[in-house]
Amino acid sequence: MKKQITELTGVKEIARRANVSIATVDRVLHNRKGVSEQTKEKISKIIEELNYKPNLLAQRLASRKTLRIATLIPESSNETSFWEAPLQGIEQADAEIKQLGIIVDKYFYDQNLIDSFVDQTRIILESKPDGILLAPSFIEESVVFTEKCRELKIPYVLIDSDLPNQGSLSYIGPNLYHSGYLGAHLVSYLTGPEDKTLIVNISREIDNHHHLLKKEEGFRAYFKDHHKPDNIIKIDIRETDLKSIEHQLSKVFEENNDIKVVFVTNSRVSTVAHFIESLGKDLILIGYDFLKENIGYMDKGVIDFLVCQKPKQQAYRGLMSLYQHLAFSSPVEKIYFMPIDILTKENSSFYRN
């Protein structure tokens, strides 16, 4: 096995073996001009033989160049605390890289308002960041934003929801389609031929929310692929306050007394749990995300299963990948799917986002 040598000793040894100056070695290491191809090849071969690795951190500190990264995610709200976890991941990464000359500017938008998202993207582009970490919610507006980023040659990493074929540096998050597919597989064990399953989408901008639509697509595909009767009914709830959600659900259950399973496609499953608890019916409730309010209803036996995909780790990994790419030109994995975890009352106390 080759033994890696230290920074200073390594440069001197490379220069000695190649019979060139330390300055010449430095030019090759930093890909600067002024070295013949023959000398460059000779030095590169010696670098490989010695298993020499330059100290990237020292180079970063010596460059004294400040890099600015903008992050754009939805703000946490009274309706869902989901986005607290990604913010914690961003803050953790920020604390680790700020001493290296990296500035992280945090921007937030209202997940219920397209104009809020558009306004924030405009402000970010005007600030001319070196890179962007984005959690997209509105499909068309996100595509317009990322197209502008590509025009300006600003690399961006996506978390939580992907925008296929949009040229991101990386996507770090769940496979939304397979997440819904898994939910349907779970439901198939819990229902009989005559039982109905209710899909609940809760969002003011459902038609624009890629992550909800892909989950539903995967859910339905499972039954089609396995030639099973799906008996699926669906409700799209666009008014997201608790009173409106309960009113809409009441009408569905009045018209369908044979619903056995309720599948909620996002983290707002606690609002559905609140309704089901008051209904007093024996139903199986499946939803998303490791949130305090959701775990509370799971502990009470109202929510049976939660599908979770580590949002804190998504944001942390996304920001660190962007930093390493900008600072060191490190290669970034194009797609990094997070694990799809299933939580129950029995294992939720051991879980970490």
Task: Check if the beta carbon of residue 173 is closer than 8 Å to that of residue 340.
Answer: no
CATH of domain 176-308: 3.40.50.2300
Residue 9 pLDDT grade (very low, low, confident, very high; cuts 50, 70, 90): low
pLDDT at 64 over 80: no
Please give the average per-residue pLDDT across 31-55, as a whole number: 82
pLDDT of residue 5: 45
Residue 337 pLDDT grade (very low, low, confident, very high; cuts 50, 70, 90): very high
Q: Say whether 176-308 and 66-174+311-339 share the same fold.
A: yes
- Give the predicted TM-score (pTM) of the model: 0.80
Long-range CB pairs of 161-167 (<8 Å, 24+ gap) are 161/135, 161/136, 161/137, 161/210, 161/211, 161/214, 162/210, 162/335, 163/136, 163/139, 163/210, 166/142
pLDDT of residue 157: 97
CATH of domain 7-54: 1.10.260.40
346: amino acid identity, one letter: E
Instruction: Return d(Cα 128, Cα 66) in angstroms, integer.
Output: 13
Instruction: Count CA atoms closer than 13 A to 266's CA, side-chain side.
Output: 25
Extents of the domains making up the chain: 7-54, 66-174+311-339, 176-308
pLDDT of residue 59: 57
Instruction: Return d(Cα 228, Cα 223) in angstroms, integer.
Output: 5
Q: What is the residue-wise DSSP string for 266-281? A: STTHHHHHHHHHHHT-
Asked which of 53-62, 125-134, 238-247 is least confident by mean pLDDT, the reply is: 53-62
Please give the average per-residue pLDDT across 291-296, as a whole number: 95
């990264």: which residue's tokens? Answer: 69
Residue 135: Cβ-neighbour burial (10 angstroms; 0-12, 13-18, 19+): buried
Name the DSSP letter for residue 205.
T
Give tens-digit pLDDT for 212-225. 889 999 999 999 99
Whose CA is closest to 272, among 325, 339, 336, 200? Answer: 200
Topology of domain 66-174+311-339, CATH:
Rossmann fold (3.40.50)
| Residue 26 CB neighbours (<10 A) | 15
For residue 24, give both structure tokens: 């010449």
Q: Across all residues in the chain, what is the average pLDDT?
A: 89
């507006």: which residue's tokens? Answer: 141
pLDDT at 352 over 60: yes
